[in-house]
Amino acid sequence: MSLEIQVAIIVGYLVLALVIGLVAYRLTERTAEDFYLASRTVGTVVLLFTTFATLLSAFTFFAGPNLAFVNGPEWLLVMGVMDGLIFAVLWYVIGYKQWLLGQQRSYVTLGEMLGDRFGSPKLRGLVAGVSLVWLFPYVMLQQVGAGTALEALTEGAIPYAFGAGLITLFMILYVVIAGFRGIAWTDTLQGAFMLITTWVALVWIIAQVGGPSVATAELEVTAREHLALGSAYYTPQYMLSTAITIGFGVAMFPQVNQRFFAAGSKRVLKQSFALWPILCLLLFVPAFLLGAWARGLETGIDVETIEAGGNVLPLILAEFTPFWFAALVIAGAMAAMMSSSDSMLLSGSSYFTRDIYRPFVDASISARREDVIARVGVVVFAVTTFIASLYNPATLFELGDAAFSGFAQLALPVIVALYWRGTTRAGIVAGIVGSQVFYLANVFNSQLTAGIIALEGALGTVPILGTVVGGFSAPLTNLVTTVFAGTYLGWSAGLVGMGLGLLLTITVSWLTRPAPDEEQAIYFEALESD
């Protein structure tokens, strides 16, 4: 009976979110600006919580506590402190100027804003294409998180594929029906709900084990190193690299970046980013402390289980809380994953229809046809990521980290373009392409070397050619593994790629002239008129 109640709670919560979306649909105007941005009328509380809930993903609820369980709670400093401050600053540096430009020129996507300034549909398509590539693993991360959470909560009674499929079904229904207004409303509900339930879960579990002093004493016995700051894993280079790439990556996530355009006023925007660091700490403190303390509790959870793809949060909830409460927290976590995924799918559809389909396929597309294509695109994208999630090719942390760092490569070329008149089309394209190629080569380092070895094997039987290839394969493999090593004196490839993108943008801009159709002044006219 408990299994049926757990499933009913989870499905019921998701249905409630869908009902809110249906109400929002009745109030949504049939315009692109209202569908994607709620007609730029979002207030402080809703803007703050819709941005917050959009980032409350499987990475937050499962990957973070997992990392705290395995390696210690210093992850809280990365996500809760440094990233809270870094993104708040970027919310002003990037977001405020984007908001001004959106008010004046009705931009909906980052690609529109950059394409207009540099007179380049190709740049617009490039930004959209890069964003869609990195959205794929992050949407997949939500499906992997939902599948593993339900499987762990029900001790395998509900298979992984069912959980991943359930959240995929609901997010497709939700995006197709609700639009931005419905997403923003449910995000506010889900953000507040998850803050409350996560704190209640922390207090409940700690009370069950005898208080924080007992939990800390048990942790000291099991993993004393967790109580000391820093370790072989949490090096200064790693923590700074991760905090910077996540903070800058968040600012370039389509579902977050588009929210810079949606604020109802300058005051709304400024109040939201001022409150952001506080909200981050309120969520990450209980989630990551639970992950760290779980290491010392007698739960039967071990490091090997978590490293093999298990999630500590649903396991500890099942151990120390009633089944109905554990199901309620997981329902909220799944709803938070859905709030991330639906926002990603909505933004992804706008990037595809406005920055790829419209400029390159049909510039005269009707509003009705664009609407249909956007909704079909949502279904195709969600189903494709679901199929990929069934193979579960990487851990939640690996998926999330790859996406954050991939998006982070866009940030510095965009900031340079926003604040330096001398930025040229050639410069920003070089910065974006160069950093992306460098980072992708690091991500797929093993695949590159495997490809070289496979090529050597395929051509090894060909007279003369096999000898030539054999002579070059070993040096080439060594070169690839050396140049694209993944880390550089402890600093991540994502951070090094960001530096490369900045260098290329500035250097190439300095060496090239603006194209005739560039509009160098429009970003600065926005500030002058403010």
Residue-wise pLDDT tens digits, 224-253 = 888 887 777 888 888 899 889 988 998 999
Among the residue ranges 89-93, 169-173, 350-354, 483-487, the one predicted with the least confidence is: 483-487
Check residue 392 and report its DSSP letter.
Answer: -
pLDDT above 90 as % of the chain: 18
Measured between alpha carbons, how far is 397 from 310 in angstroms, rounded to an integer?
12
Read off the pLDDT band of 125 (50, 70, 90): very high
Mean pLDDT for the stretch of residues 465-487? 56
**Average pLDDT for 335-358:** 82
Q: How far is 416 from 393, CA to CA, in rounded Å?
A: 36
Name the most confidently modeled range: 458-462, 483-487, 499-503: 499-503
Give the Cβ contact number of residue 120 at 10 Å: 20
pLDDT digits (tens, 9 = 90+) for 245-286: 988 998 999 988 888 888 888 888 888 888 888 888 888 888
In three-state secondary structure terms, 93 is helix
Residue 446 — pLDDT band, cuts 50, 70, 90?
low
Residue that wins the pLDDT comparison between 472 and 431: 431
Q: Longest Cα pair distance anywhere in the chain, in angstroms? A: 74
User: Which of 279-293, 443-457, 508-522: highest mean pLDDT?
Assistant: 508-522
What tokens appear for 455 in the block? 């090529």
In sequence order, the 6+-apart residues with CB closer than 8 A to the CB of 8 are none
At 225 the three-state DSSP class reads: helix
pLDDT digits (tens, 9 = 90+) for 378-414: 888 888 888 888 875 555 556 667 788 899 999 999 9
| Ranges 15-29, 226-240, 335-349, 453-467: which has the least confidence | 453-467
In sequence order, what are the beta bridge partners of 136?
none
**257 phi-psi bin (left φ>0, alpha ψ -120 to 50, beta other):** alpha
pLDDT of residue 58: 59
Q: How confident is the model at residue 434 (pLDDT cuts 50, 70, 90)?
A: very high
Is the per-residue pLDDT at 490 higher than 70? yes
CA atoms within 13 A on the CB side of 83: 28
**What is the distance between the alpha carbons of residues 173 and 18, in angstroms, rounded to a whole number?**
8
Question: What is the rounded average pLDDT for all residues in the chain?
Answer: 81
**Interval 103-119 mean pLDDT:** 91
Give me the helices (H) in 353-444, please: 358-360, 367-389, 396-419, 425-443
Residue 252 half-sphere exposure toward CB, CA atoms < 13 A: 31
For residues 373-384, one letter each, b for 16 or more C-beta atoms within 10 angstroms of the residue's C-beta and e for the rest, the string is bbbebbbebbee
Q: 287: burial class by Cβ within 10 Å (0-12, 13-18, 19+)?
A: buried
Specify burial of residue 365 (Cβ count, 10 A radius: 0-12, 13-18, 19+).
middle
Residue reference for tokens 């499962």: 62
Element (H, E) at 34: helix 32-37
Higher per-residue pLDDT: 309 or 40: 40
Tell me 356's DSSP state: I
Angle (CA) 63-64-67 rounded to 5° is 85
N-terminal to C-terminal alpha carbon distance within the chain:
61
Q: Is the dihedral of CA 6, 12, 13, 18 positive or negative?
A: positive
User: Tell me, what's the pLDDT at 455?
Assistant: 54
Where do we find the tokens 């002093």? 213
Of 124 and 23, the structure prediction assigns the larger pLDDT to 124
What does the pLDDT read at residue 483?
57
> In Å, what is the CA distance from 470 to each residue of 464, 476, 484?
10, 10, 21
For the domain made up of 2-393, give the CATH fold.
Answer: Sodium/glucose cotransporter (1.20.1730)
SS3 content of the chain, % helix, strand, coil (to 5): 80, 0, 20
Q: What is the pTM of this model?
A: 0.84
Q: What integer is the mean pLDDT of 90-111?
A: 90
Which structure tokens are listed for 380?
A: 């195709």
Burial class (CB in 10 A: 0-12, 13-18, 19+), 505: buried
32 or 520, which is more confident? 520
Q: What is the identity of the amino acid at 199?
A: W
| 283 within 8 A of 194, measured Cβ to Cβ | yes
DSSP assignment letter at 492: E
Q: Which helix (H) or strand (E) holds 487?
A: strand 487-488
**According to the model, what pLDDT value does residue 398 have?**
65
Quote the tokens at residue 270. Answer: 């400024």
Residue 461 is encoded by which pair of tokens?
A: 């039987």
Residue 143 has a CB neighbour count (10 Å cut-off) of: 29
Q: Please report which confidence band the pLDDT of residue 353 belongs to, taking 50, 70 and 90 as the band edges.
A: confident
**Banded model confidence at residue 171, pLDDT cuts 50, 70, 90:** confident
Q: Rounded CA gap, 107 and 123, in Å?
A: 15
Structure tokens at 201: 């879960």
CA distance 524 to 421: 8
Is residue 261 within 8 A of residue 99, CB to CB? The reply is: yes
Residue with tokens 């956007």: 374
Q: Which of 4-8, 256-260, 414-418 has the lowest mean pLDDT?
A: 4-8
Confidence band (pLDDT; 50, 70, 90) for 465?
A: very low
Q: Which of the 8 DSSP states describes residue 397?
A: H
